[in-house]
Amino acid sequence: MSEYRQIKKELKNKKELIACAQQLGVVGDATRLKICYLLCCHPELNVSDMAEILDTSVSVVSHSVKKLLDLKLVERRKEAQTVYYSLINNDFTNKLKEFIT
């Protein structure tokens, strides 16, 4: 029985598993997955352009991008008054690119 306690303890301490579950949950949303797809195909886009391409509102895209930023899946770069977003290059986004492109 103590063997199972050790395994349970290992699972609780696996920050990578928790992070992966959160990331998968975020990209499980169709709008956020489409944003990731756009950023795979086009290295940088702003919220207005993404909203027009996705035929949705700026607020929907902005809200979705915020969630992607929170989990460190995208990063931003400001040029004058415009903010451009791009996918962060990490193991998760690299696998995501393989799946969706």
Instruction: For the chain, list the domains and their CATH numbers.
Output: 2-100 (1.10.10.10)
Q: Please compute the mean of the pLDDT values over residues 64-84 and round it to a whole number.
A: 95
The more confidently predicted of residues 89 and 14 is 89
CA angle 17, 21, 26 (to 5 degrees): 150
pLDDT on residue 75: 97
What are the tens digits of pLDDT across the range 4-56? 888 777 777 777 777 877 888 888 899 999 999 999 999 899 999 999 999 99
Q: What's the one-letter identity of residue 47?
A: V
Which band of pLDDT confidence, cut at 50, 70 and 90, is reported for residue 1? low
Structure tokens at 93: 């986004």
pTM score, two decimals? 0.81
Cα separation, 97 vs 2, in Å, equals 41
